[in-house]
Amino acid sequence: MKNIGGLFCFAFFLLLTTHVSATTRSSLAVTGSWSSSASWSGGILPVADDTVYIVNGANITLDQVATVKAILINTGGTLNIGSQTLTLTGVNDSIGNVSLYGTLNLNTGIINLTGIWNNSGTFNCGSGTVNFDGGFEQAIEGSSVSTFFNLHNNNPNTTGTNGISSHPVSVTIKGNFIQNGQFHRNSNGNPDATVIFDGNTTLSGAYSYFLNHVIINAGATLNAGSKTIYLYGNWTNNGTFLCGTGTLRISQDTYSSAQPNAQYVNQPMTQPFYNLYISKSTGSIQPGIYAGNATGNLTVNNDFTVNNGTWNVNGTKNLTVLGDFVVNSSGGGVFSASTGNVYLTGGSLQILSPGTSTLYNLQITNSGAGIILGSNATISNTLQLVTGMVKTLNGTNFYELYLSNNSPSALLAGYTSTNFIQGKFRRALTAGAGTYVFPIGPVHMVSNAYRPVTLNQTASGGATDVLLYEDTITAANYKANWWLYMQPTGGNPTGTITNLYNLATDFPAGTIECSMSLIRGAVPPPAAWVTPLATTTGASSGSITTACPGVYAPFAYIIGEPILTTNAATICSGNTASLSTTWSGGSGTIRWYDAASGGTLLYSGTNYTTTALTANTTFYATIANAFTGCETHRTPLTVTVNALPTTSVIANTGVCAGNSIALGGASVAGNTYSWTSNPVGFTSASSNPTVSPAATTTYYLTQNITATGCTNSAQVIISIDPLPVAPTAALVDQNNFCSENVDSITLSAANGSGTTLNWYTSSCGSGSPMAGNNLTIAAPSSTTTFYAAWENGCGVSTCQSIIVTVLPSPAANAGNDVTICESSAVTLNGSGGSMYSWSTSQTTASITFTATATDTLVLTVAGVNGCTDTDTAIVTVNTLPVAIASPDTSICPEEQATLTASGGSTYSWDTGASTASIVAEPTSTTIYSVTVTNANGCSAVTSTQVIVLEPIEIFVTSNPSGTILTGQLATFMATPDSLQHYNFYINGGLAQSSSSNMWTTNDLLPGDVVTVSVETGGCPADDRDINPNVIEFYNSFTPNRDGLNDVFLQGVDLTIVNRWGQELYHGNEGWDGSFGDDSVSQGTYFFIVKLLDENGIESEVKGSVTLIR
């Protein structure tokens, strides 16, 4: 279907010729409407299975929703869609078509087609919509450019070439372009086919866009939304492009030999792309210079990717990228930088991954998390760090940023403590003098640290490359928390190296800045950093400058203090220690201190002998720099002081003559013992020897710890102690007393000697003794013998005894404690003596006592020997309960009242009930009594009254009380008038609810029933009904004998007069509009109605009535 205009016309005419009788409907050459039979040949309207033919000279307007198979508009024919919908339902590529050779005016209407769009005439799109709804291959063809307003692709078939062949010819779109189906560009054989956007277009739908050339006309707007545009030709934007979050994917056409090898992207710099993705197996893409962009500079709001093919900068053009910059070199992607600039200006973390491509000028202006390398990156001209960091460590991949321009000025100003390279940075150095800054910082830092290095090459230096990076040291309290890797390739630079650092954060507390050097080692911790470089400017204010080393390998360096190596020392407590230290690198004097900082300078020199030490002691050695005099941080050296053995000997003591005693204690493993004496003659190797001296003797112990060789000594003096002497008499201060009258006695002994006077009660020396002379003890309760003997460390003497006589006291018994209720009497029975005396002044054994409150009674009894005793009885008085019953209450007849008592734990009503609450239903006023008992068993009585109220009867009267005319005011009154609330109802509907007992109305009708209900505030009253005699009254009537409203006011005493007072009628049959035998004329007449109430009292009602003829 690539060139079918003529063939299609021929086939269509053949189709018309072959099937005209069944499927073809031709219009007449008239101006008419689709729904008019006068518009169609044979007067037959088109139906769904018809193919419609608009003939030359016809001007047909679609005035209804129409469905046909296909439509052909011949030259000179016109079809106007208006606001209607035309659906073409053919199911293959030969029907379901629009074939246009005349004029098609879409206006605001809709065309749904399932076949080919062939435009070789005039198509006026208006603001209408064309929907491609087929399931087979569809195409937009013809010799005329088709301009659509809204173009919707709903053809989902992706098999082979099915879907829509979107533009073998150019297509213009003014409105929205929706892709919910497959869209083929068919550029093969039509390389210049272009989609032109010439209005306000938004791309949407479920499918991506496959386009050849794209042009956005001046004044037009294309909103990409979130869609992907596959571009196989050139892109030219002369209007406005809103990138949204969409992607422009410049791709290689796999079947088009006519696609341009070099594609151009003509886009204003002020109108960015969101994602720009290049994937061409051959050829290149380059930004164009045209009227809309004189510089060719481009901006990409998100990611710029060269997956395959070449992006050719072609000059000094700028490419600004706010997302990732990725060149897939392994897949064939190439970024040809020319002399252009790449600006990375994102607000979040950006990936820079140029692969093997080289950038010319690179500027970093990232306001967010900075740049992270996804590959090695080479910049051939200038690098400028304006804002944001460059991180070369990406996960476990450690990439390198290489500035290959060997000019010292290739690194432009802008790097700061927040804009630097965290990771590997290589620079090319030119031969001769030059200052090269490496604005780097350590990787793996918890927080970013800027630690730049400046290499000042002298005139004798040769051309080379130098790679520098810094890494973190995690060892605790190390010399520094980062180290420097520095490796030249192609020759060693000469000159000096300046390192910047932060003394407060990079080094352990106590690091002395002026003592530091730049030291070369093997690999970072725990390497021995043993080769300090020659310092040219001492470490000060965060900077140190050293001479470049002659040998760089093994390329690892650290800023720190020289290393001290100290010897270990171990002594026995009380001895001195000899200390020494060695160190490598530099020269200076060793100084010894007694504290980690401050303290006392103990000695200057390599070897130091301490004073005598009794505990582990730490000394601190430092190197005093020979040039500056600055000391390094102090290196601790602890002298281990082994403890002397702990001797175990008894205290100086005496021993009874002829007795023996052990001198020491338990043996300690690993210890040896040696005993001697004065006077001499005793030796022993035991830890606890036993001796029996005849006179006072001093014994000496020497104890040694075999493992440490440490010894200790002790001594003990043993003297001879005397035997005790018995007392000559035992004495007591009181004797012969009543057991209840004496609380204590004092025991003493005469003469004798010893350290302790012991008292025994069973026999001399038996039981556990009491100790003391003039010993006061509790008086015994019965006669007792006491034995006295002196005791010392050598034994107990014989005893002297004394008998203490105790008279028995009577046992008073006042009886058991009792509990009574308030104001009750109790009898107490005493016993235990021959005479009695109560605290109530009663002197008999038994007494009767009335208590008003809890009281304790004391009974005193006397025996025949005169001894007395007392006892008590407690009379506990429990209070009576406070009996409470429900207050008096009123009920209506046949109602119940709940009566509740409280104040106790059990209840007894005169009704026989035993619950706290009872339900009473008396027929007359009744008093109820209840007995309340508390938990102590005490009771009280109370009562309450239930009053039975009399019922209330209400009465209702009306005024007037007799006949009431409709519209006449009537007042209803309920009695008694002292109730709380009155409700008046008409036929069950509430008319008035208030505290008034009267209700007035003029709304009564014949048959109405008035009901009154009341709220008494007491017992309820029955509702009352009243049936007033209401006669219906109209202010006009029509006596025309039609049976409706012919008679006025039947059933009452009625008089009718005219305006002159002439009586025309009097009676109770009602007035029929006559006077005598004649009918009166139409007009207004006056009536008088006489009414009698239920008491026979007469009243009059006057008014007017209109007679209508």
Exposure pattern of 447-464 as b/e (b: 16+ CB <10 Å)?
Answer: eebbbbbbbbbeeebeeb
> What integer best gives the mean pLDDT of the chain?
88
Whole-number Å distance between alpha carbons of 577 and 1025: 128
What local confidence, expressed as pLDDT, does residue 168 receive?
A: 62
Rounded Cα–Cα distance for residues 512 and 113 (Å): 87
Query: Measured between alpha carbons, how far is 680 from 293 in angstroms, rounded to an integer?
Result: 121
Helix (H) or strand (E) holding 453: strand 453-457
What is residue 527's predicted lDDT score, i.e. its pLDDT?
Answer: 65
Structure tokens at 589: 């004097």
Closest to 1050 (Cα-Cα) out of 1001, 1097, 1004, 1006: 1006
Angle, CA of 1098, 1103 and 1105, to the nearest 5°: 130
Structure tokens at 503: 């003394």
Could you tell me whether strands 377-387 and 393-394 are parallel, antiparallel, or unpaired per DSSP bridges?
A: unpaired
Among candidates 492, 480, 539, which has minimal Cα distance to 515?
539
End-to-end CA distance of the chain: 91
Beta bridge partners, 336, equal 312
The total number of residues shown for the chain amounts to: 1109
Contacts of 107 (CB under 8 A, 6+ apart): 80, 81, 82, 83, 126, 127, 128
What whole-number distance in Å separates Cα of residue 285 and Cα of residue 303?
A: 17
Q: How far is CA 227 from CA 202, 235, 325, 783, 866, in A?
A: 10, 16, 20, 121, 125
**3-state secondary structure (DSSP) of residue 975:** strand
What is the C-alpha to C-alpha distance for residues 173 and 151, in angstroms, rounded to an integer? 7
Residues 980 and 996: beta-carbon distance below 8 Å: no
Residue bearing tokens 């734990």: 905
Contacts of 663 (CB under 8 A, 6+ apart): 649, 650, 675, 688, 689, 690, 691, 699, 701, 716, 718
The 10 Å Cβ neighbour count of residue 2 is: 12
DSSP 511-564: --GGG-EEEEESSTTT----EEPPEEEEEETTEEEEEPPS--TT-EEEEEPPEE
Angle at 819 between CA 815 and CA 824, to 5 degrees: 105
**In angstroms, rounded to a whole number, what is the distance separating the alpha carbons of residues 34 and 59?**
10
661, exposed or middle or buried, with CB in 10 Å at 0-12, 13-18, 19+?
middle
* pLDDT < 50 positions in the chain: 1-22, 93, 255, 258, 585-586
Strands 377-387 and 411-412: parallel
> What one-character DSSP code corresponds to residue 988?
T
C-alpha distances in Å from residue 742, one per residue of 406, 665, 861: 119, 51, 17
Whether 218 and 198 have beta carbons less than 8 Å apart is answered as no
Considering the segment(s) 818-878 as one domain, its CATH architecture is Sandwich (2.60)
- The reply to whether 563-642 and 818-878 are identical in fold is yes
Cα angle 1047, 1048, 1052 (rounded to 5 degrees) comes to: 115
Closest CA to 28 of 6, 60, 5: 60
Q: Distance between alpha carbon 150 and the CA centroid of its chain, in Å?
A: 47
Q: What count of Cα atoms within 13 Å lies in the side-chain half-sphere of residue 1084?
A: 4
Residues whose CB is less than 8 angstroms from the CB of residue 989 and which lie 6 or more positions away in sequence, other chains included: none
3-state secondary structure of 829: strand
Structure token digits, residue 311: 């992006």
Pick from 721, 727, 731, 720: which is nearest to 797 by CA?
727
Quote the CA–CA distance of 959 and 954 in Å, as a whole number: 17
CB under 8 Å, gap of 24 or more: what pairs does 776-780 form?
776/744, 776/745, 776/746, 776/747, 777/744, 777/745, 777/746, 777/747, 778/743, 778/744, 779/734, 779/737, 779/739, 779/742, 779/743, 779/744, 779/745, 779/806, 780/745, 780/804, 780/806
Fold category of 653-721 in CATH: Immunoglobulin-like (2.60.40)
Q: How far apart are CA 275 and CA 868, in angstroms?
A: 118
* Residues β-bridged to residue 884: 902
CATH number of 729-807: 2.60.40
Beta carbons of 749 and 724 less than 8 angstroms apart: no
Asked whether the beta carbons of 804 and 735 are under 8 A apart, the reply is: yes
User: Which neighbouring-strand residues pair with 459?
Assistant: none
pLDDT score for 3: 40
Q: What one-character DSSP code corresponds to residue 100?
A: E
CA atoms within 13 A on the CB side of 328: 13
Going by the DSSP 8-state scheme, the letter that residue 800 receives in this structure is E
| Fold of domain 955-1031 | Immunoglobulin-like (2.60.40)
Query: For 307-347, how does the pLDDT look when each residue is reduced to its tens digit (9 = 90+)?
Result: 999 999 999 999 999 999 999 999 999 999 999 999 999 99
Closest C-alpha among 637, 614, 638, 617 to residue 710: 614
CATH 2.40.128.20 fits 563-642, yes or no: no
Residues near 919 by Cβ (< 8 Å), separated by ≥ 6?
Answer: 896, 897, 898, 899
Q: What is the pLDDT of residue 13?
A: 36
Which residues are CB-neighbours of 1015 under 8 A, at least 6 positions away? 979, 980, 981, 982, 983
Q: Which residues contact 13 (CB under 8 A, 6 or more apart)?
A: none
d(CA 1071, CA 1053) in angstroms, rounded, equals 11
| Residue 448 DSSP SS3 | coil
Instruction: Note the pLDDT of residue 23.
Output: 82
Phi, psi (5° rounding) for residue 513?
-60, -45
**Please, how many CA atoms are within 13 Å of residue 831, restricted to the half-sphere of its CB?**
3
Q: From CA 985, how far away is CA 980, in angstroms rounded?
A: 17
* Sheet of strand 240-242: strand arrangement: 66-68, 85-88, 110-113, 129-132, 150-153, 177-179, 200-204, 221-223, 240-242
| Sequence spans of domains, the chain | 1-184, 427-560, 563-642, 653-721, 729-807, 818-878, 884-948, 955-1031, 1036-1107
Amino acid in the structure at residue 317: K
Q: What is residue 607's DSSP assignment?
A: E
Backbone angles phi, psi at 894, to 5 degrees: 70, 10
**Cα–Cα distance between 789 and 871 in angstroms, integer?**
40
